[in-house]
């Protein structure tokens, strides 16, 4: 099948060309995001492959349907960017990659946590300038801390296992409690109880209307002073304005994020020669206790292999007329 890839980077091209060598699919790679201006690039293709910041609303779906696109293959797990009701209306099917190396994201979340608590990013910059002073680099142990995990799907479970290895007490909240995690020693509580008792909080839940701005002024008020907040899930789980206020009041001791609610205009781009117009992320970057990475938690060789192979198998299954095990439907 002829596949149009949107929002592609070098690593996307390399992984799909490597793992798609034996397939009969034809690839067209476009650097541009999928939007009103670029949707016509899909003409002459049968499938589009998109990423997390390609907003696929009713207008886009109508245009894709008119072009003859019948399948959207998301090369990601999240699908909040897709209007599934409109996809159903225009007869466009949607598949995703529900799990790809959950350890990749969990390890990155813990790397952010370790960096913040031991200030290794600051030490790295000092030493490169021949400054070997330890003043201001005093950190804290992770061992013995109480970590709260919101969402114990594949990534949340991987994060819990890492936390257990560091000797932490683990509290969790999820609508569907995991027996495996209970046997590991994870204690499930109501959301407010997890928020109250966690010294470190890591978000691993999907973005839904119910979880949008899960971290807001009210929930931050419940948390202990100096709480450490880590988000490697979806940016809009966090109300950025409320977080900035909590950083200023020192309610949040450290903040580590790999996602941002307005990231579609910033992340995956080189803006080093431009003035950053987003005032909220600019404000976040002024805090010495904030660490931001640009949605790279998924970016490992192992994850890229799984993304490419699962995406291509989704498309091949559609071509063969098989049941699409990774299909997402409006209902």
User: Which residues sit opposite 255 in a β-bridge?
Assistant: 229, 290
Residue 34 DSSP code: P
Active site residue 295: yes
d(Cα 156, Cα 158) in Å, to the nearest integer? 5
Per annotation, catalytic residue among 234, 261, 264, 313: 234
d(Cα 189, Cα 42) in Å, to the nearest integer? 47
Paired tokens of 198: 């966690």
Q: What SS3 class is residue 256? A: strand
Per annotation, catalytic residue among 45, 96, 108, 263: 263
Q: Which of 287, 286, 288, 241 is nearest to 260 (CA)?
A: 241
Paired tokens of 141: 């142990």
C-alpha torsion 198→199→203→209, nearest 10: 60
Q: Angle CA(71)–CA(73)–CA(74) in degrees, nearest 5? A: 140
Per annotation, catalytic residue among 45, 75, 108, 295: 295
d(Cα 176, Cα 247) in Å, to the nearest integer? 32
Active site residue 263: yes
List residues with catalytic annotation.
Answer: 234, 263, 295
């Amino acid at each position: 099948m002829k596949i149009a890839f949107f929002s592609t980077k070098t690593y996307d091209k390399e992984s799909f060309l490597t793992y798609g060598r034996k397939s009969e699919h034809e690839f067209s790679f476009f650097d541009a995001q999928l939007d009103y201006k670029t949707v016509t690039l899909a003409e002459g293709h049968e499938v589009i492959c998109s990423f997390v910041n390609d907003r696929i609303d009713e207008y886009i779906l109508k245009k894709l349907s008119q072009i003859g696109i019948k399948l959207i293959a998301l090369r990601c797990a999240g699908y909040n960017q897709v209007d599934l009701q409109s996809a159903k209306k225009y007869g466009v099917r949607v598949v995703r990659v529900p799990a790809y190396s959950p350890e990749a994201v969990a390890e990155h979340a813990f790397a952010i946590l370790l960096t913040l608590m031991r200030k290794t990013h600051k030490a790295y910059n000092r030493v490169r300038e021949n400054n070997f002073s330890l003043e201001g680099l005093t950190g804290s142990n992770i061992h013995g801390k109480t970590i709260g995990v919101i969402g114990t799907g594949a990534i949340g479970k991987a994060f819990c296992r890492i936390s257990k290895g560091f000797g932490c007490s683990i509290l969790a909240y999820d609508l569907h409690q995991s027996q495996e995690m209970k046997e590991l020693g994870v204690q499930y509580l109501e959301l407010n109880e997890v928020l109250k008792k966690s010294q470190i909080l890591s978000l691993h839940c999907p973005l839904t209307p119910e979880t949008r701005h899960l971290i807001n002024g009210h929930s931050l008020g419940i948390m202990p002073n100096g709480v450490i907040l880590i988000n490697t899930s979806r940016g809009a789980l966090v109300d950025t304005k409320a977080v900035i206020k909590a950083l200023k009041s020192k309610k949040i001791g450290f903040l580590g994020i790999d996602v941002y609610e307005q990231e579609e205009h910033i992340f995956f781009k080189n803006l080093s020669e431009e003035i950053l117009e987003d005032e909220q992320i600019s404000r976040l970057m002024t805090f010495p206790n904030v660490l931001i990475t640009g949605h790279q938690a998924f970016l490992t060789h192992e994850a890229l292999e799984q993304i490419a192979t699962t995406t291509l198998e989704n498309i091949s299954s559609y071509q063969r007329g098989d049941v699409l095990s990774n299909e997402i439907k409006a209902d």
